[in-house]
Structure 1
Amino acid sequence: MTAGIDTPDRRGRTGLDRHGRDLTGNPQVRITDVEVLSCDWYVLRKTTFDYRHSDGHWSREQRETYDRGDGATILLYDADRRTVLLTRQFRLPAYVNGHPDGMLVETAAGLLDGDGPEEAIRREAAEETGHTVGTPEPVFTVYMSPGSVTERLHFFAAPYGPATATAEGGGVAAEGEDIAVLELLFTEALDLVRSGEIADAKTVMLLQWAALDGPFRHR
């Protein structure tokens, strides 16, 4: 008996090896086997599939996919004052892969955890920044690392100000979060992108959107 397959894992899940087996949307792909390598919290799978190439021949391929669920992120902005509200927190994967101290400047974000994207990002914005936003503006939804990670990230934007400040923010201490809230001039944030001090992809994408099509575009 295997946790996550025959018996519940620590999150109560079973049948994790069936994910993806019934996909039929691409006739060039035939999935033949799915193996669960880890399901400690998120799920790491190795999938074997046959792939028909553009010249017609078939090959057998294997890929590992990391399933952590989908997420959402939001850029909070004050168009009148030309500021944005960002966060800073420690990210171990960045630290072990060359970031000087692992302290990344980011837009507020989090996993959906069973909620819809709008509900989830309103929750995360409140927890991380202390601001309760109204209806956020959808920006786009993208796959952030489609070579290995299944996550789709929903991008939003919303205004903030004194009226939306309802708590201190800083994240959920019980979940190990220790998040600093940063208010920056939009021009400062762009300078940090240019210098490499903002090195988080979702944050760069939202700041560029804000400059090209969002609240700080040239009119």
Structure 2
Amino acid sequence: MRIEGESVRVCGIDVIADAKGKLISVRYEQRRRDGEQQTRKREIYDNGNSAVILPYDPERKTVLLTRQLRLPIFLQDGTERTVEACAGKLDGEEAERRIVKEMQEELGYKVSHVERLFELYVSPAAIMEKVVLFTCKYSTANKVSGGGGLKDEGEDIEVVETTLEQAAAMVATAEIVDVKTVVLIQYLRDRVRL
């Protein structure tokens, strides 16, 4: 595989692990801004692109969140259940279609329209994942089930409905530590104030 840009040339890619995601080692040459050529090597994790949504009820000023086990956070901090926005891997599916399905599976709410906000990279120095961020309006009329996720996928999700202001307070007290959720809460808070 040969990948080249103006100042970067990939020399080789080796797969280190390939299970749920792929861990690769990339050897590349980079021409620095001072003109010097530099050879480098990096490990990159590719677990696929994803979508995330923060539904908002403008009448009650509430948002829907999830609470579930996130093993890396448990291993790092000992926190067993983390509060975050509803999210899921795209697995080749269109982001809008996938996030509507995730919202119904995880939160138990069915909506027909979502608003695409923007796309962000999770941690661009080492992770290839790009996340599409969404919001949508919801109400109690959209509730079709108790949510909870798909048991056969190992999901055990608690639905958390709280006010947008309380969600912002949960960020301030470090109850919410997921970066994509923090971005969505701040974005929506700023937008609602307009």
Report the TM-score range of the alignment, normalised by the length of the smaller protein: over 0.9
Number of corresponding residues: 194
Structure 1 or 2, whichever has the larger Rg, is 1
Where in structure 2 are the equivalents of 1:26-45 lying within 5 Å? 26-45=5-24
The alpha carbon displacement at 1:22 in A equals 3.7
**Larger strand fraction of residues:** 2
Runs of 5+ consecutive residues of structure 2 not aligned to the other structure: none
Which residue of structure 2 aligns with residue 52 of structure 1? Answer: 31
Query: Within 2, Cα distance between the matches of 1:41 and 1:91?
Result: 15
Query: Within 1, Cα distance between the matches of 2:49 and 2:59?
Result: 32
Report the residue type matching 2:130 in the other structure.
R
Runs of 5+ consecutive residues of structure 1 not aligned to the other structure: 1-20
Q: Secondary structure at the match of 2:76?
A: coil
Residue 91 (str. 1) matches residue 91 (str. 2):
no
TM-score relative to the length of structure 1? 0.86
Query: Within 2, Cα distance between the matches of 1:102 and 1:49?
Result: 39
Report the residue type matching 1:186 in the other structure.
L
Q: 2:171 is matched with which residue: 187, 193, 203?
A: 193
The alpha carbon displacement at 1:103 in A equals 1.1
Report the residue type matching 1:90 in the other structure.
L
Report the residue type matching 1:39 in the other structure.
D
Report the residue type matching 2:175 in the other structure.
E
Where in structure 2 are the equivalents of 1:42-191 lying within 5 Å? 42-98=21-77, 100-191=78-169
The alpha carbon displacement at 1:48 in A equals 0.2
Q: Secondary structure at the match of 1:171?
A: coil
The alpha carbon displacement at 1:205 in A equals 0.4
Report the residue type matching 1:57 in the other structure.
E
Report the residue type matching 1:173 in the other structure.
K
Query: Within 2, Cα distance between the matches of 1:115 and 1:40?
Result: 20
The alpha carbon displacement at 1:192 in A equals 0.7
In the alignment, is the contact (CA less than 8 A) between 2:2 and 2:9 conserved in 1? no
The alpha carbon displacement at 1:23 in A equals 2.9
Query: Within 1, Cα distance between the matches of 2:19 and 2:95?
Result: 24
The alpha carbon displacement at 1:152 in A equals 0.3
Identity of aligned residues (%): 37
> For the aligned residues, what is the CA RMSD?
1.0
Whose relative contact order is higher, 1 or 2, with alpha carbons under 8 Å and at least 6 apart? 2
The alpha carbon displacement at 1:102 in A equals 3.0
Query: Within 2, Cα distance between the matches of 1:35 and 1:117?
Result: 29
The alpha carbon displacement at 1:133 in A equals 1.3
TM-score relative to the length of structure 2? 0.97
Q: Secondary structure at the match of 1:61?
A: strand
Report the residue type matching 1:207 in the other structure.
I
